[in-house]
Structure 1
Amino acid sequence: MGVNFKKIIYSIKTKLLKPSLYNSFLETEKALLSESIHDLNFKKRQTLVKHAFKNSAFYGKKYAKVLNNVDLISTEDFLKLPPLTREELAKNFNSIKVKGLKPWQIRKVTSSGSTGQPVSVLHDLRFPISSLQWRILSWWGVKPYENQAFIYRYKRSLLKRIGNTIMWWPTRRIFLPGAEMNLVHVKRFVLKINRLKPALLQGYVDVMYEFALFLLDHNLKIHPPKMVWVTSAPLLEHQRRIMEKAFKAPVCDQYGNTEVLLIAAECPNQTGLHILQDAVHIEYVDDNYQPVPPNITGKILITDLNNYAFPLIRYEVGDRGQYSLGQCECHIPLPIMYAVKGRQAVTLELPSGLGIKSEHLHLLFEKQIKTIREIQLLQKKDYSVELHYIPQINSTTTYEVNNIVRSLVHRTRNEIKITPIKVNTVKILNNKKPLIISELPR
């Protein structure tokens, strides 16, 4: 089926069935080009804070002591607003949501709890997230009406699959459930990819990485997509290299979470992640919530500029990262952040009280892992650590494993026992494969 035919049908369906999506895309792209992104960002923060103060019982009470005037006059006023913690979010769901919401305007979602306790939020369906996805796809030359392939963790229901086929026709979207990742299903998926030649291959980091290993292990080839889009977990450089080798396509890293789906993403230059600053506001702060300079790791605070149903303002999401003042040569008018490497709440604990953040261990492993597929640290109740690892097929990992153990012994100041254990699979927690699983009481 011709690309022009798909483009025409897709355009007609979008304008008729989802005009809010089409108009949102045009409006956001026009705004991005028409004025300073920083001015636009601050105007949206002003409007959001005023809305939350008036329509959310939680923010009305929280800001009453710090806002003499409902209107934000300066960026300094915004910095005076107390951050929203995960604990507050977990305890105040009903008072955070605004009044008068209709059921079709919202969708309730719950996080996996990888940064601590699970939290629930409402997504505001009045702002179509697809308009931001279209923008990122456009950076890579992918059109939304081109065929696409996805790898999700679980199989979708028959009703959803039928609905998806009807909604996207004549564009084809194909899916592989990560929970059914075996050679038979992988070969079927490869045949579909090679027949439909999708421009996009998208999925969670862990299942995409597993799919790439299947292809390399069994010498399977797929028609190269224009881009591979991964999300849901930090992307390690050795994982990127494996994927690009297997898929013969560039890998786009994206930062987002359950609470705020799209925050930043790479362009083809891959010099960092472009912050979608007309849709979100990101701050990097120290433990006292004071701004940190560029290239210094800080706690990340997120403000979702488009969620008027369930405002998230200066939300301490639980991630840590850095931003850059550098400019990308792509000329996209959006600032740059570096990829988030770990989760603030997940640490390796020592008897002396020292905690080693997973972001530091990610960096350590990135430099050393070459013959290991996957790695995971299981900390027992006596503080000892089991280093679970899965070797690459036909690879000798003894030297590499010994080096990693020595590095961990050094980083943990020889306070804990570290035992390497070869395994067939690493543990899954909250539908993810975390770097650290701890049995220590929180």
Structure 2
Amino acid sequence: MMESLSRHVFYPLWDFKDRSQRLKEWQALEEQQWWPADRLRMLQWERLQKLLAHAAEHSPFYRDIFDKHAITPASIQSEDDLLSIPITTKSDIRNNLERFISDQFDRNKLVSAKTGGSTGFSLQLYFDEACQERRNAAQLMADRWAGWDLGIKKAAIWGNPPVPSTMKQKLRHHLLDRTIYLDTMNLNETSMGDFVKRWRTEQPGAIFGHAHSIYIFARYLRDHEIKDLRPRGIVATSMMLLDHERKAIEQVFNCPVTNRYGCEEVGLIACECEEHRGMHLNLPHLFVEFLDRDNKPVKPGEPGKIVVTDLNNFAMPLIRYRVEDVGSFTDEPCACGRGLPILQRLEGRVADFLKLPDGGQVAGISLIERTLTKVPGIKQMQLVQEDLTSLKINRVKGSDHKPNTDRALISELQEVFGDSVSITIHDVSEIPQESSGKYRFAICKI
């Protein structure tokens, strides 16, 4: 009954109260996903041209870029023309944050977020509410591809789970979000055993979480011969879903795994449908390019740097933003019948888990995100673990680095690893990329 009430009553009423367009946008996406590819491309191009015109007039950063390179929105009439706009990098955002923000918006009234991301870079981001609503709508659609639907309770295997504090947050948690959490900051026999007990009480219908974290939990269930946890859908995200991990998860839960790809900067980028033969690109909301070393488009099947233009965020436009992942696409249609193109393969985002002295593990992505969002003054960092008694931090100083930054960094990590682990900081100028174009932000050599 609660599931039905959440879907048919609480979701619509909440959107009506907040004057949100989330459900309206979700319904539009549900229809657009079945449009022919040509019609979807027309919609995407119309939205791209609208964003370019807005950024050229209202974003100081892009206004200067366009002026410097003699570009006008009217001159961008094809994908080849788009190549004339320089790539936007994470360093551009860090060094020019205020200049990215549109002069049509009051920054104090925008939704803000700070992310470490899978590359270990700390970025401050801003979004307008309409952007957030569209992003949430895309997530609702993608969740339904995995077998979830409005109102179904989730089991989230995630780091640093949110704790509702205000009455509004508590109501939303119980009426809409309906999520139980297994905190990946400390995965061990006790925490996973307790989560199994809560699962049996709460009976969630879907799993959402870090790909490798879900795999560790599935392995725990397999080793303890626990066979009664049967979700209707599983969404793996945040890091690469390896083939052996997918196989193990699906065997343990007797349920297909839906792989998803996105980032805080631009939201949902791509997600698998029920065919599980690649991930459909979120074409109505993003313009995605795959580029070679010379920033020229690659051919279908060839790996390329993933560059994304966010068609939703008018408060802080991101045009041709390099997310620092590598992937390949295919122009073959999907058997599901959707007109959305396919991200064939995503490379990178393999996050090591670090070992805790008591036998537990901590997800590298959770630890990096927790640290970079709490400790100012760090531009980038990498954790290297040689043995159980020591941890090395390769740290690139940020512009706001202060004398107490490193002490705060060590203190934050000691809360996780304890005083028995020796933590040392190595001052480096940069974290080197691997050949795939990604960064390894957590390396466990044990």
AA aligned opposite 2:114: T
CA contact (8 A) 1:105 1:125 kept: no
Aligned equivalents of 1:338 and 1:20: distance in 2?
A: 31
TM-superposed deviation, 1:31: 4.6
TM-superposed deviation, 1:202: 0.4
CA contact (8 A) 1:14 1:21 kept: no
TM-superposed deviation, 1:287: 1.0
What SS class does the counterpart of residue 268 from structure 1 fall into? coil
What SS class does the counterpart of residue 212 from structure 2 fall into? helix
Aligned equivalents of 2:274 and 2:33: distance in 1?
A: 19
1:16 is matched with: 16
Aligned equivalents of 1:158 and 1:11: distance in 2?
A: 18
The answer to which structure, 1 or 2, has the higher relative contact order (CA under 8 A, 6+ apart) is 2
CA contact (8 A) 2:327 2:345 kept: yes
Q: Which moved more, 1:260-269 or 1:60-69?
A: 60-69
Q: Is 1:56–2:59 an aligned residue pair?
A: yes
CA contact (8 A) 1:255 1:339 kept: no
CA contact (8 A) 1:190 1:221 kept: no
AA aligned opposite 1:290: K
AA aligned opposite 1:218: H
Q: Which moved more, 1:72-81 or 1:99-108?
A: 99-108
Per-residue CA deviation, residues 332-354 of structure 1 (Å, 9 max, x unaligned), is 220001231216xxxxxxxxxxx
Equivalenced residue count is 366
Aligned equivalents of 1:306 and 1:170: distance in 2?
A: 24
TM-superposed deviation, 1:322: 0.3
Gaps of 5+ in 2: 352-360, 365-383, 389-420, 426-430, 432-438
CA contact (8 A) 2:26 2:138 kept: yes
Q: How is 1:284-299 mapped onto 2 (pairs within 5 angstroms)?
A: 284-299=290-305
2:105 is matched with: 101
TM-superposed deviation, 1:73: 2.6
1:393 is matched with: none
Q: Is 1:90–2:94 an aligned residue pair?
A: yes
Aligned equivalents of 2:205 and 2:25: distance in 1?
A: 24
Aligned equivalents of 2:147 and 2:262: distance in 1?
A: 21
Aligned equivalents of 2:9 and 2:311: distance in 1?
A: 32
Q: Which moved more, 1:279-288 or 1:213-222?
A: 213-222
TM-superposed deviation, 1:146: 1.4
2:309 is matched with: 303
Aligned equivalents of 2:118 and 2:49: distance in 1?
A: 31
Per-residue CA deviation, residues 372-395 of structure 1 (Å, 9 max, x unaligned), is x9999xxxxxxxx99989xxxxxx
Q: Is 1:210–2:216 an aligned residue pair?
A: yes
TM-superposed deviation, 1:211: 1.5
What SS class does the counterpart of residue 307 from structure 1 fall into? coil
TM-superposed deviation, 1:99: 1.3
- RMSD over equivalenced CA pairs, Å: 3.4
2:181 is matched with: 175
CA contact (8 A) 1:275 1:334 kept: yes
2:231 maps to which of 225, 231, 241: 225
Q: Which moved more, 1:42-51 or 1:148-157?
A: 148-157
TM-superposed deviation, 1:133: 1.1
1:122 is matched with: 126
Aligned equivalents of 1:238 and 1:32: distance in 2?
A: 30
TM-superposed deviation, 1:32: 4.7
Q: Is 1:318–2:324 an aligned residue pair?
A: yes
What SS class does the counterpart of residue 338 from structure 1 fall into? strand
Label 1:212 to 1:162 Cα distance change in 2 as closer, same or farther (>3 A): farther
Scaled by the length of structure 1, the TM-score of the pair is 0.74
Label 1:105 to 1:246 Cα distance change in 2 as closer, same or farther (>3 A): farther
Label 1:166 to 1:316 Cα distance change in 2 as closer, same or farther (>3 A): closer
Aligned equivalents of 1:79 and 1:126: distance in 2?
A: 28
AA aligned opposite 1:342: G
Q: Is 1:252–2:258 an aligned residue pair?
A: yes
Aligned equivalents of 1:142 and 1:85: distance in 2?
A: 35
Scaled by the length of structure 2, the TM-score of the pair is 0.73
AA aligned opposite 2:8: I
Label 1:268 to 1:66 Cα distance change in 2 as closer, same or farther (>3 A): same
